[in-house]
Chain A
Amino acid sequence: MKLYDVTELALRNLRESVLRNSLTTVGISVGVASLVAMLSLGIGLQQLAGRRLQKSGLFDTIIVTSRRDLRGFDREQEQNGPAPADSPVLNEEARAKLAQLPNVREAYPDIRFVTELRYDDKPHLTMVAGLPASAKSNDAFDGMQGSFFSNDDAPQAIILKSFAEELLGRTPKQGEAEPGVAELAKPLLGKSFILRYAERTSPNSLSGSGNASDNLAAMASAYSVISKEMTVTIVGVSELNPDTMRGQAGARVYLPLKLAEGMHVMQPSDLRNASSQGAGEATYSTVSVRVNNASKVGDVEAAIKKLGFNTFSITDATKSLRQFFAILDLFLGIFGSLALAVASIGIVNTLVMAILERRREIGIMKAIGASDSDVKGLFFAEAGAMGVFGGVLGVALGWTIGQLINFGTNVYLKRHQFPSEKVWLVPWWLVGGAIAFSIIVSLLSGLYPASRAARLDPVQALRYE
């Protein structure tokens, strides 16, 4: 029989026992809906976590250090790379080279220094760091009071909540409730403080060229340090730290990166450089390299190592996160499939009942020339059709449930003053996959009834009343 004829006959047969077949189809659709619901929750959560992590910059950032400075983060790097003495210097030229590597979004120097600032005529000692413009999308600033820097060299600052508490003298005592960020930001936003720092100035003539004896002679006067002041306006107060990768070394006051670079603040490495070769040029203690995609971190890291630098990244965390979600998806999928497994028993039951009911019909068909494979194909097609309808209906049902849950979650998040999130995500591959899975399960369920129908003895079947 042609496929078209098989399908037409199958649909006609399904219409004949419309109630029973509809109930079976609803059973399949509930199974598919539960599978879609479970998996899309898993996918939604995974994407949510992924998005958060990507925004945090934790997993797409590589910290690059010169082998001349900090001795390695891991032993392997020390064993495999060039000897510290032969390794390249981490200066502006090296930064530019890093920025041009494939898959690198940006490479910026880490400017950070401990310094004193005066607010309300009181001195406060803290770590200050430069923030690139790209940090604006950082998750930590989602709930920030105020705004991000107006441009990359504006004399503006974003301070952390803990520092705001210090500036206002409101650091909570033990057991005391912490004041809210909004409350702390109110008196601080738009106010200025004076930043005191040590500027390192290097005369232009000592740019590193010339012969060795000249350099030696110049070494003593390689640079001078001048005390400077700058007035900076507070534009933002953030509760979360954008600099989590630094742990204890994290800053509490952030300046636009260009501004911080332009300040030429004396770095700890400068002291050591004063007694070594190349003292004239400014070097960076670390450069942060941000990669286009977290999955490319490994490749970029390898490329940087080839250049002779040490690297540090936290890719393993994403790997274990992915692993966690793979396991979560697996279990959600198994739970979701349970309903589909029950539904498949429904299909077997419906078709076996149909064989009993249509026994005589099968006998007639065989008597007038239907082959075993015609009969088998017919029952198979009926199972498949129930799978298609159940699958489509199930996906629609699962999608609707997902939308409702998304809506409910966002109402809840809004009530708790969180930004809205898409917890439930039904990607196209899941739609197609769920329908395909439903058809496959239905066809598998139809295997036994179909072959049973095909094996019916026509003489016996024709005698059946």
Chain B
Amino acid sequence: MSSQSMIQLQDVCRHYSMGDTLIPAVDGISLEISTGEFVALLGSSGSGKSSLLNLMAGLDRATSGCVVVQGSNLVELSREALAKHRLKTVGMVFQSFNLIPSMNLLENVELPLRFAEIDRNQREMMAQKALERVGLGKRIRHRPSELSGGEQQRASLARALINQPRILLADEPTGNLDSKTGTEIMGLIREFNQTLGTTIVMVTHERAIAERYAQRMIFLADGKLVGDQVNSGIEK
């Protein structure tokens, strides 16, 4: 593993059994992602890109192989240690935003800080700042249902980055948004990548978005890595 390496996968498999049949969602993938890289995982539906992202997030455990993130092999970690990995090392955004509907934006964003046992006052200040940064400073008391999709995804981004993780894992972050809002969100993600040096791994099936923002594009099909290329046409 190089000194620049943030994520390193070695012959990673994730097989699901459905009755008697074994479905290889991720099938022997090896790759390395450097610190500060913006990587897009591309592939058609069912190609295994979300499963791979979940393995890097520590939400799921590989059936075999090694998933080394920031020096620790997630396959060997306990459930508690994996939770800590999700809390501190990675931040996640999802296609469907995944904000908790009964909480307002401030409460949603400060939720990871509760898990990190940060004091109440500090927590509120940090959450407020994070929301201001994504342009939602005036909507902190609103519930998710009172916001547009774009606003919800911004709040979700604020929540993902509140613990200052080194890696942002984004699963189709613009999938539920119109193209204008999608562009705004992608602009924010790129900003984080460039200003904070956050490593970005983004799952998308829209090649155009990947070509526009990602430095590197990794192609998956049937759980296998079928292409890995540096994106030369990236928008500056």
Contact = CB atoms under 8 A, between A and B. Distances in A.
B158 to A, nearest CB: 12
Nearest to B55: A459
A1 interface: yes
Contacts of B84: 369, 371
A458 interface: yes
Interface in B146-199: 159-160, 163
Given A12-B102, A361-B100, A459-B54, A368 B159 contact: yes
Interface string B91-116: 11010001110110000000110111
Contact of A369 (B60, B79, B115): B115
Interface residues of A, number: 25
Contacts of A4: 120
Given A1-B114, A9-B114, A462-B94, A366 B100 contact: no
Given A361-B100, A364-B98, A369-B87, A5 B80 contact: no
A373 B114 CA distance: 13
B83 interface: yes
A86 B115 CA distance: 84
B219 to A, nearest CB: 23
A459 B59 contact: yes
A365 B59 contact: no
A366 B102 contact: no
B59 A369 contact: no
Majority SS of interface residues in chain B? helix
Interface in A371-397: 371-374
A192 to B, nearest CB: 86
A372 B84 CA distance: 11
Contacts of B60: 458-459
A416 interface: no
A342 B202 CA distance: 51
Nearest to A368: B112
A12 B59 CA distance: 26
Contact of B117 (A1, A363, A367, A459): A1
B216 interface: no
Interface string A307-338: 00000000000000000000000000000000
A434 to B, nearest CB: 32
B88 interface: yes
A277 B90 CA distance: 106
Contacts of A365: 100, 111, 115
B87 A368 contact: yes
Given A16-B102, A459-B59, A459-B60, A371 B83 contact: yes
A150 B224 CA distance: 109
Contact of B83 (A363, A372, A462): A372
B98 A367 contact: yes
A156 B112 CA distance: 87
B59 A364 contact: no
B86 interface: yes
Contacts of B86: 366-369
B117 A2 contact: yes
B114 A366 contact: no
A353 interface: no
Contacts of A2: 114, 117
Contacts of B210: none
B80 A368 contact: no
Contacts of A16: 102
Given A5-B114, A367-B92, A372 B80 contact: yes
Contact of A371 (B59, B79, B98, B111): B79
B57 interface: yes
B59 A1 contact: no
Given A1-B115, A458-B59, A459-B60, A369 B98 contact: no
A370 interface: yes
A275 B53 CA distance: 114
A16 to B, nearest CB: 5
Interface string A150-181: 00000000000000000000000000000000
Nearest to A361: B100
A13 B160 CA distance: 23
A367 B91 CA distance: 9
Interface of A: 1-2, 4-5, 9, 12-13, 16, 360-361, 363-374, 458-459, 462
13 contacts: A1-B115, A5-B117, A13-B102, A368-B159, A369-B86, A369-B88, A369-B115, A370-B87, A371-B80, A371-B115, A374-B115, A458-B59, A459-B54
Given A374-B83, A462-B98, 14 more contacts: A1-B115, A2-B117, A12-B103, A13-B102, A366-B86, A367-B59, A368-B92, A368-B115, A368-B160, A369-B84, A369-B115, A371-B80, A373-B80, A462-B59
